[in-house]
Structure 1
Amino acid sequence: MPSIAKHNEVITVIIIFAVEPEQQQELINTIVEFVEADVKHQPGFVSSSLHKSLDGIRVLNYAQWKTLEDYKAFLNNSEIQARGAAKLANFHLLDSRVYEVTISLPESADLTISPGRLIHLGEFRMKPENQSRLIELERENVTIALEHPDLLSANFHRSLDGTRTMNYGFWQTLDNFELLVKEPKFAPVREYWQGLSENEFHLYEVVFTEPHE
């Protein structure tokens, strides 16, 4: 099974599609077909993990490649890109960027990505000059978030272009997720990014991984 690379042994590509709920499964099936037929056979491919948002309006691909050069070679393969574009032409690509892991806590956490796991993805969009400061604040506040009894780990990623950070959080259950957005003790987690970035989050379930085991 894939896992979060705590020490940046790989580069991470986070690809997000916006979708109508009635098309969510169709998009997942289409991406699985493309990954199995083409992507997994490319030099440097490590893993692809598909997530469906619980509200039905997002599909997330958390992909890993050995090096940035491997990923660029994949992007520059015109034949494969043409096949992918044809398969995905009817779906809206919302965002696609290259990331590295900057924070992964607690140290003892199980970071395996496997079907059925529940994920909170916090998306932070900022000007490049604000990214470093935001990462500092994320590091300062992550321990507060981890006081939530159901949050298993927080894994912050920074985009190489400087315009994003992403918090990929593993959850045991989402039944009590609202504590994070309502309880006073978590107020710093809800506020530290204000003035530096725009924030949005969605809750996901992992539905597919390649490799499977």
Structure 2
Amino acid sequence: MPTIAKNNDVITVIIIFAVEPERQQELVDTIVEFVEKGVKHQPGFVSSSIHKSIDGVRVMNYAQWKTQEDYQAFINNSELRQLGAKLSQFQIHESHVYEVVVSLPDDATRKIAKGGLIHLAEFKVKPENQMRLVELEREYVKVGLQHPDLISANFHRSLDGVHNVNYGQWRTLDNFEVLVTDPKYKPLNEYWQGLAENQFHLYEVVFTEPAD
């Protein structure tokens, strides 16, 4: 079962596709087939976790590799590109290599399991502002963790300096809107302003390799 951990011995690759709702499941099936037939057999592959957004317009692959060199070798493999050619029919919204820089609370279980509920917040940032954003993320995440349904918050920074994401794990999303409407969580909706552009989607984990 995939695990999120700060300063672990992997790199994280997050690929987010934009998709029409009527093709979302087709895209999920296409990625799963590609992972099963080719990706998981590559040197350095650690895990792949496929998520589909609840609103139907995103599919995310949260993947882990042992090293950036292993991932680059996979990218450069022409036979694998041919095997995954069908994916070229779909639009990539964002694709970056990340490191995990904040994971709280310390005692949280950060296993990625099928059926898990995820809030993924995306921050587009200029390289000169990225580390300041990380500092603020570390400072304000404890406000969000006051929400009783939020299990963990896991901030990632892209190695190219232009993107941060928070992979938030939830027990249930029934009361998620409290995070954006309750005044006590107001700092969460403000700390990044002036440093980054922000958007988010809510996801369900639909596939993991290795499996549970």
Instruction: Specify the alignment match of 1:173 in structure 2.
Output: 172
Partner residue in 1 for 2:105: 106
In the alignment, the residues of structure 2 paired with residue 89 and residue 158 of structure 1 have an alpha-carbon distance, to the nearest angstrom, of 26
Aligned to 1:121: 120
Match of 1:59 in 2: 59
Once the 2 structures are TM-superposed, how far is the Cα of residue 83 of structure 1 from its aligned partner? 2.3
What amino acid does structure 2 have at the position aligned with 1:71? Answer: Y
> Which whole-Å deviations, capped at 9, do the CAs of 1:24-54 have from their partners, x for residues lacking one?
0000000000000000000000000000000
> SS of the residue aligned with 2:122?
strand
1:203 aligns with 2:176: no
Give the TM-score taking structure 1 as reference length. Answer: 0.98
| 1:76-155 matched pairs, under 5 angstroms | 76-84=76-84, 86-155=85-154
Tell whether 2:181 aligns with 1:191: no
Query: Once the 2 structures are TM-superposed, how far is the Cα of residue 163 of structure 1 from its aligned partner?
Result: 0.2
SS at match of 1:101: strand
DSSP-derived class of the 2:22 partner: helix
Q: Which moved more, 1:74-83 or 1:7-16?
A: 74-83
TM-score (norm: length of structure 2): 0.98
Match of 1:6 in 2: 6
Helix, strand or coil for the counterpart of 2:139? helix
Spell out structure 1 runs of 4+ moving beyond 2 A: 5-8
- 1:143, CA displacement in angstroms? 0.3
Q: Secondary structure at the match of 1:170?
A: strand
1:8, CA displacement in angstroms?
Answer: 2.4
**Letter paired with 1:19:** V
Deviation of 1:93 (Å) = 1.1
1:114 is displaced (CA, Å) by 0.6
Residue aligned with 2:88, SS = coil
- In 2, Cα distance between the equivalents of 1:78 and 1:5? 32
Q: Tell me, what secondary structure is at the counterpart of 1:96?
A: strand
Once residues 44 and 168 of structure 2 are traced to their aligned partners in structure 1, the CA distance between those partners, rounded to angstroms, is 26
The amino acid of 1:208's aligned partner reads F
Q: CA RMSD for the aligned pairs?
A: 0.7
Q: Which amino acid aligns with 2:107?
A: S
Opposite residue 187 of structure 1, the aligned amino acid is: K
Of stretches 74-83 and 175-184 in structure 1, the one that deviates more from structure 2 is 74-83
In the alignment, the residues of structure 2 paired with residue 154 and residue 186 of structure 1 have an alpha-carbon distance, to the nearest angstrom, of 15
**Partner in structure 1 of residue 22 of structure 2:** 22
Unaligned runs of 5+ in 1: none
Residue segments in structure 2 that go unaligned for 5+ positions in a row? none
Deviation at 1:79, TM superposition (A): 1.7
Show the counterpart of 1:48: 48
Q: CA deviation at 1:6?
A: 2.4
Length, aligned pairs only = 212
The AA in structure 2 aligned to 1:55 is D
Q: How many percent of aligned residue pairs carry the same amino acid?
A: 70
Q: Output the CA distance in 1 between the equivalents of 2:82 and 2:196.
A: 34
> Residues 45-89 of structure 1: CA distance to partner in whole angstroms, max 9, x if unpaired?
0000000000000000000000111101111112212321x2112
